[in-house]
Amino acid sequence: MKVIRISKTEWQGGLDKARTGYGLYGPVKEGQDDHAFRPLAPGEFPDMSYKNSKMSPKELVHPQSEPMFQYNLNPADPDHDIMREIAKDATAKAVIGIRPCDADAFLLVKRNFDTPIYRDPYWVTAFESFTKIGFACNQACSATAFCTSAGSGPFHDAGLDVLLVDTGESYLAKVVTDKGQHFLDVCGFSAPAADAASQIESLQKKAESTIASSVNTDKLKDQVTTELYDAPFWEEISFACINCGTCTFSCPTCWCFDIQDETKGKQGVRMRNWDSCMYPLFTLHGSGHNPRGTKVHRVRQRFMHKLKYYVDKYQDGIQCVGCGRCIRLCPVNIDIRKVCNMMNGYTACSCAVS
C-alpha cells in the first residue's frame, strides 16, 4: 500500500497545479446546512469540512437532464429529420472529496450501464473521464448511515483512485489506482508517509465503531422471490408513501430515466431525464395498461429491486451502499433498514388448506 502525506498548507497549491490538466469538482456549501458537488471555479476549493451532501454526486455522471441528440424539422434544411448526436465532454476531470459510499455506488450502477454486451456511451464516457479522489469518513455522517453492513464502509476504497484520510494537520493519500497516482503527480504531492498503514488502520476502526446502524442481508438470496412478492407487509410499508420520489432521486444507486423529445419551432433536442419507479407514469404502457398502477406495486418494486432482484441477478450484495439519505429525507419516515430486515427475516405462512 502506497501512501503519500499531504500537508494542509500545501493542499490548495497542489489543487491549483491540477487545474492545468483537470476540470476540478468538489463539495461546495449550498444554503445553511447542505453541500453539493459542483465544478470548482479558479480560486475555489472543495469544502473538506462537510459530512455528506444531501444529493449524491451521481449527477456528475448521470445528469438530471442530459441532451443526447439534436434535430431540426425544417424541410429546407438538408439535415432535416436527422438525429445528430451531441458531443460529450470527455476531457479529464477530478472529483475531490467524494465519500466512499458514493464512489462504491458508481460500481453498482456500472453493472447496468457498462455490461459485456452493452455500453451506455453517455454514462461510460462521463464515468471514465473522472478521477475520483475519495475522502474517508472519520465518523458516521449520520445516525441513519449503515454502510458497514451494506458492503461499504467509512474507509472503503472500491471505486476510488485515491482515498484521503484526514489526520488533522495533514491528509494521508492512499494510492488505489495508476489514475490516482497520476493525479497526485500532477499536483506535486509525493512525500511518502512511512507510518501511515497503522495510523489509517487505527482511524478506520475508530470510524467504523461510530456506525451504530445496520441491516441484516444474509438470508435475502435464499428467500423465494414469489413469497417475498406476496408478503403481507407491503400494504403496511407503502401506506404512508406519497410517491414523491425523494428516495429515488437522493439514492446514489438509483438510475431510472425517461427519454423525451423537446421541440421548439423547428428545432428539437432528445433529452434523457431522471425518472422514478415511484411515479405511476414510469411504467404506463402505450396500451394504457400499467403493471405498477398502485402505490403498493411501486413501493414493493423499489425494495424488491434493491434487495431481492439485484441480489439474485448479481449474487454480490444488495443494491444499496447504506448512505442513509433516503431515511433522512423521506417525508413520511419510510426506513429501508426496517424493510430490509423484514424481507430478510420473512417466513411465508405455511397454513395448509385441508
Kindly state the cell numbers that stand for 320: 444499496
| pLDDT classification of 124: cutoffs 50, 70, 90 | very high
Own/partner pairs for 202-206, CB < 8 Å, 24+ apart? Answer: 203/136, 203/138, 203/155, 203/165, 203/167, 204/136, 204/153, 204/154, 204/155, 206/138, 206/139
Torsion, Cα 323 324 330 333, to 10 degrees, reads 160
Percent of the chain surpassing pLDDT 90: 95
* Cα 335 versus chain centre, distance: 18
Own/partner pairs for 11-14, CB < 8 Å, 24+ apart? Answer: 11/45, 11/171, 12/45, 13/188, 14/187, 14/188, 14/189
| pLDDT classification of 354: cutoffs 50, 70, 90 | very low
| pLDDT classification of 13: cutoffs 50, 70, 90 | very high
DSSP class of residue 108 equals H
Express each pLDDT in 188-230 by its tens digit. Answer: 999 999 889 999 999 999 999 999 999 999 999 999 999 999 9
Among 92, 126, 78, 88, smallest CA distance to 106 is for 126
| pLDDT classification of 135: cutoffs 50, 70, 90 | very high
| Radius of gyration of the chain, Cα coordinates, nearest whole angstrom | 22
Q: What is the pLDDT of residue 74?
A: 94
Burial class from Cβ neighbours inside 10 Å (0-12, 13-18, 19+) for residue 41 reads exposed
Q: What is the pLDDT of residue 352?
A: 44
Write out the H or E segment, with its range, that includes residue 73: none
Express each pLDDT in 286-332 by its tens digit. Answer: 999 999 999 999 999 999 999 999 999 999 999 999 999 999 999 99
Tell whether the torsion through CA atoms of 325, 329, 330 and 332 is positive or negative: positive
Output the pTM of the full model. 0.94
Contact 318, 328 (CB under 8 A): no
Q: Strand 130-135 to strand 162-166: parallel, antiparallel, or no bridges (unpaired)?
A: parallel
Q: What is the pLDDT of residue 353?
A: 45
Express each pLDDT in 42-101 by its tens digit. Answer: 999 999 999 999 999 999 999 999 999 999 999 999 989 999 999 999 999 999 999 999
Average pLDDT, the chain: 95
DSSP assignments along 181-243, one per residue: HHHHHHHT---B-TTHHHHHHHHHHHHHTT-------TTGGGS-HHHHHT-TTHHHHHTT---
Express each pLDDT in 55-64 by its tens digit. Answer: 999 999 999 9
Question: Is residue 276 helix, strand or coil?
Answer: coil
